[in-house]
Every structure is written in structure tokens, then in C-alpha cells.
């Protein structure tokens, strides 16, 4: 350490660089103001230049230290700023990718929505066109049905028991003209074809015009009670009597199992009578009778020439029947057809003409049960 005394050999102070001086933040202006006083207070007067040089060195040293620390501080701040800038760039890049992805998804969603909207519009237009077409067809069907109902009412009103309308009753035509027909097929027998009838015992002809008629009060009362509220319920007194006296005996064939099926089909209006055609038919057996033969009646079991066959409901099986069995079935079908017309309000007549028509139909059932039927052309 320098003691402040000159070296005995050289008489000069040691180099200033080797003098350790503690740093003290002193402003330049203050140092200049204090230096004269310090010089004045120096007792010897010889140390004034050295003190001034020392102050300059101190100022230089403090300035360098300030520069170094400022430089380090600025470097640190620059490093922080660069780091933050890098993070900001990464964040901007990430946000840019997110924005691009959202834009792509938005474009895809927009295109999908437009496509779905166009598809919905096309489907709506197709459904509207189909609905309009169905509505037009339905209106056409309604008009056609209304015309048919009007024509049917006209035919029913113009048909009388004495002169039935052949357009209303196609079963009155010959089998070749009428063709197969589902439901009740009425036999072409009427009061004019069954009577006059030849009585084998008496050997004379009974003319319908000479027949006497008298209304049975009990039967007429039962019919009037039924006519007030027409029904097909066979438990009512009117139909119960008809079933017991006419329908049951007329459909009581030898083959009981098939007879029950025929009776149910007649009541449900699902019986079909067809003329025998040349095509081959499925063979069906009832009890021990083979019904696929045209020479054996499936209902009576007798060997008879069968020119017609019956089908029950939607079954594909056919049963060959003789002319007598056909007459009995069609007589019952005629009766059910007429009472259905009454039930549906298609017969506009007084009670007595309707009663006599029903009585005539009951007479046909009785004659058919006894074996009377018109010869086929």
C-alpha cells in the first residue's frame, strides 16, 4: 500500500494503476467544487496535483464501471427482449395455424351446410311432387267411387223383384260371359226360371200368376223389427228363424267339415264360384273324398259332372261341386246379398215389397234344398 510518502530512491510515487481506491459515487461538479477546498486544506501544499490526479482516476474508474454495468444490464435486457420476442413469434405462429384451421373448418362447414340445404330442398320438392300426385290420384279415385256409387244406387232403384237388372246382377248372365267373380255369385235362377215348375207327382204345371199370397203376420213383424235396425247378427229373431229354417238346411251337405267352411265363407262374403277351366288345379282332400276330380262333388261326395268349383277366402285350393250343390250355395248367397243391400241402405222400397223379395229368396233356398235347379245352357 502506498503510504503517501515518496520513494527514497526515485522520489516519485508508485504507478497510479497499482493504487487501490475504493469506489464512491461522487458527481463531477461536486468534486470540482470540493477540490479547491481539499487543496486548501492540504497541509503541505505539495500533494495538490496528486489528489487532483487521483480524483480524475476515480472518475474514470467509476465511469468504466458504470459503462460495464450498463452494458451488462443492456445485454440482459436485450436477451430478455429477444427471448420474449421469440415466444411472441411462436405464439403468433401457433395462432396463425389455429386461424387457418378454423378457416378451413368454416369453409367445410359452410359447404356442407349448403349441400345439405340443397339436398333438403330437392327432397322437399320431390315429396311435394309425390304428394300432389297422390292427391290427384286420390281425388280421381274419389270421383270414380262417387260415380260408381251413384250408378249403383240408380241400378238398385231400377231393379225390381219381377224384373231384376242384369247389370246389377252379373251372376244372372251365362257362366262364359260372367267369368270368375269373387264374393257371392248368385245363380241365374229367379222366380221366372224356377216357376212354372213341373211337379212329378201331379204331372201339371204351377203358374206363378195363379199362386195365392198372404203375409204371415209373425214373420212380417219380425222382419219389420229387423228392418228398423238392419244387422247381420244371427241371434236376432228374424235372422235366427231364416238360419234355422232355410240357411242351415240348405248348406247342410254330406261332408260336414267342408260344409262348415262353406257356411263361414258365405257369411263372411269370401266365397268364390268359378266355372271349370282347362288348366290343371291343385288336388285337395276333404275327409276321404278327392276334391281334385271333376267327376265327384266335394260337398255331397256323389259322382256327378262338376262344371264349377269354389274357393274359400284367399286359399289357392279349389273344390269341385255339382250343379245341385252350386244351386244351393247360390240361393243362400242371393239371400245374403239382398239383406246386405238393405243394411247398406241401397234398397229404397216399402216394407212389404222388401218382405216379399226376401220370401222369394227363402223359397229359392227351399227349392234348392229339395233338389230343384235350372238346367245349364
The pLDDT assigned to 292 comes to 55
* pLDDT tens sequence across 335-358: 999 999 999 888 888 999 999 999
Give the least confident one: 187-201, 298-312, 348-362: 187-201
The pLDDT assigned to 258 comes to 93
What are the residue ranges of helices labelled H in 159-313? 175-178, 191-194, 217-228, 237-242, 248-250, 256-268
DSSP code of 190? -
Give the least confident one: 24-28, 123-127, 142-146, 305-309: 24-28
The answer to whether residues 274 and 308 touch, using CB atoms and an 8 Å cutoff, is yes
The answer to whether residues 275 and 175 touch, using CB atoms and an 8 Å cutoff, is yes
Percentage, residues of the chain above pLDDT 90: 44
The pLDDT assigned to 165 comes to 57
Q: For residue 222, which of 245, 203, 205 has the smallest C-alpha distance?
A: 245
* Residue linked to cell 257369411: 267
Mean pLDDT of 251-276: 92
Query: pTM to 2 decimals?
Result: 0.46
The pLDDT assigned to 97 comes to 92
Amino acid at each position: 500500500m502506498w503510504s503517501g510518502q515518496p520513494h527514497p530512491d526515485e522520489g516519485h510515487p508508485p504507478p497510479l494503476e497499482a493504487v487501490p481506491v475504493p469506489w464512491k459515487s461522487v458527481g463531477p461538479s461536486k468534486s470540482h467544487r470540493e477540490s479547491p477546498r481539499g487543496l486548501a486544506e492540504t497541509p503541505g501544499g505539495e500533494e495538490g496535483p496528486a489528489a487532483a490526479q487521483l480524483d480524475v482516476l476515480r472518475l474514470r474508474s467509476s465511469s468504466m464501471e458504470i459503462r460495464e454495468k450498463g452494458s451488462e444490464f443492456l445485454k440482459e435486457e436485450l436477451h430478455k427482449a429477444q427471448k420474449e420476442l421469440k415466444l411472441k413469434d411462436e405464439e403468433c405462429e401457433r395462432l396463425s395455424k389455429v386461424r387457418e384451421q378454423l378457416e378451413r373448418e368454416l369453409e367445410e362447414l359452410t359447404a356442407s351446410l349448403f349441400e345439405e340445404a340443397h339436398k333438403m330442398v330437392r327432397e322437399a320438392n320431390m315429396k311435394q311432387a309425390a304428394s300432389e300426385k297422390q292427391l290427384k290420384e286420390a281425388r280421381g279415385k274419389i270421383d270414380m267411387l262417387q260415380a260408381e256409387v251413384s250408378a249403383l244406387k240408380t241400378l238398385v232403384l231400377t231393379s225390381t223383384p219381377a224384373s231384376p237388372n242384369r247389370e246389377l246382377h252379373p251372376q244372372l248372365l251365362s257362366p262364359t260371359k260372367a267369368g270368375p267373380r269373387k264374393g257371392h255369385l248368385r245363380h241365374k235362377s229367379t222366380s221366372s226360371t224356377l216357376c212354372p215348375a213341373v211337379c212329378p207327382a201331379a204331372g201339371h204345371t204351377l203358374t206363378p200368376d195363379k199362386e195365392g199370397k198372404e203375409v204371415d203376420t209373425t214373420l212380417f213383424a219380425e222382419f219389420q223389427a229387423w228392418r228398423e235396425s238392419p244387422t247381420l247378427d244371427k241371434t236376432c229373431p228374424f235372422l235366427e228363424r231364416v238360419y234355422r229354417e232355410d240357411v242351415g238346411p240348405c248348406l247342410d251337405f254330406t261332408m260336414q267339415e267342408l260344409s262348415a267352411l262353406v257356411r263361414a265363407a258365405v257369411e263372411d262374403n269370401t266365397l268364390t264360384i268359378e266355372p271349370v277351366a282347362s288348366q290343371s288345379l291343385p288336388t285337395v282332400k276333404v275327409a276321404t273324398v278327392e276334391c281334385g276330380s271333376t267327376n265327384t262333388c266335394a260337398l255331397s261326395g256323389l259322382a256327378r259332372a262338376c262344371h264349377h268349383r269354389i274357393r274359400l277366402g284367399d286359399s289357392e285350393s279349389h273344390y269341385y261341386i255339382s250343379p245341385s250343390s252350386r244351386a244351393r250355395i247360390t240361393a243362400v248367397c242371393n239371400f245374403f246379398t239382398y239383406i246386405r243391400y238393405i243394411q247398406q241402405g241401397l234398397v229404397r222400397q216399402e216394407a212389404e215389397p222388401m218382405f216379399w223379395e226376401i220370401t222369394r229368396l227363402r223359397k229359392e233356398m227351399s227349392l234348392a234344398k229339395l233338389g230343384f235347379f235350372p238346367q245349364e245352357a
